[in-house]
Amino acid sequence: MPQLLEGKTALVTGVANKWSIAYAIAQAFVREGAQVILTYQSDRQKVTVEELAHSLKIERVLPCDVTQDAELEQLRQNLKGVVLHSVVHAIAFANREDLTQPFAETSRAGFALALDVSAYSFVALARATRAACNPADRGGASLMTLTYLGAMRVVENYNVMGVAKAALESSVRYLAADLGPANIRVNAISAGPIKTVSARGIRDFSKLERAVKLSPLRRNTDPAEVADTAVFLASDLGRGVTGNVLYVDAGFQIIGLALPD
């Protein structure tokens, strides 16, 4: 069977462990024949990410803390001579207290931190990888990020992360408009709740997972199906899609009101 990403190279950020959505994406990209490069945030994570890369037969692992301009510049330098066809941004962070206390209590610093790491970093990453992206291919280059329904609707306890995701989704549209003439596509995947380290920071996350039984497909979101959507966006099959938020959430986002049993 032909592989969808044969001959393509992808940079995947945000792999923390085997449960990370980015790990599922890297796995699917490798399955489809892509050369994958992973990044890690700090030396604390270096060995773990190198081991995970090894398990996927990925050879290249680069440092990149997205809050540090010097590291983004270093990433740009490290990518010299590499032709990238896709970039996956799977990074978010907010202080734990901002995901537990009422939203109105969010501090200025907590708000700025969540927006910096979870939204601005996508813009910064797009800039750092711009020179390496190869728009000559038929499908162009494809940048993608991960978002959540809390950008559009109020989801209890998602708080400042919802505001950050709203900024991220808007950034997707502005980046798509900026980079489209160079045949670089920019999209977001809005995933349903998946139990990961980041997700555990959200109070009562397990209740969010239980709520998905109201979704049309009556089930949770599997990281592998999020990853397959990322494959579609990275492949030439997605060549006409830009500036979009694609929901991979078992259809949960269409439900207005489901009556309790």
Q: Which residues are catalytic?
A: 148, 158
| Residue 21 contacts ligand NAP per CB under 6 A | yes
Taking CB under 6 A as the binding criterion, the range among 11-19, 74-82, 97-105, 132-140 that sits at the site for ligand NAP is 11-19
Q: Which of residues 48-77 bind ligand NAP (CB under 6 A)?
A: 65-67
User: CA-CA-CA-CA torsion for 190, 232, 83, 56, nearest 10 degrees?
Assistant: 80
Here the tokens at position 181 are: 């003439």
Determine contact, residues 225/127, Cβ cutoff 8 Å: no
Here the tokens at position 209 are: 């997972």
Give the integer Cα–Cα distance in Å for 92 and 99.
Answer: 13
CB of 28 to ligand NAP, least distance (A): 14
Q: Taking Cα atoms as reference points, which of 16, 9, 121 lies closest to residue 72? A: 121
Taking CB under 6 A as the binding criterion, the range among 4-12, 94-102, 122-130, 191-199 that sits at the site for ligand NAP is 191-199
| Residue 220 contacts ligand NAP per CB under 6 A | no
5, 8, 14, 84: which one binds ligand NAP (CB under 6 A): 14
146, 163, 234, 250: which one binds ligand NAP (CB under 6 A): 146
Range 174-211 burial, b when 16+ CB lie within 10 A, else e: ebbeebeeebbbbbbbbbbbbebebbebbeebeebbeb
106, 129, 187, 196: which one binds ligand NAP (CB under 6 A): 196
**Which of 91, 183 has the CB closer to ligand NAP?**
91
Give the integer Cα–Cα distance in Å for 39 and 64.
Answer: 6
34, 117, 144, 234: which one binds ligand NAP (CB under 6 A): 117
Using CB under 6 A, list all residues that contact ligand NAP. 14-16, 20-22, 41, 45, 65-67, 90-93, 117, 146-148, 191, 193-194, 196-199
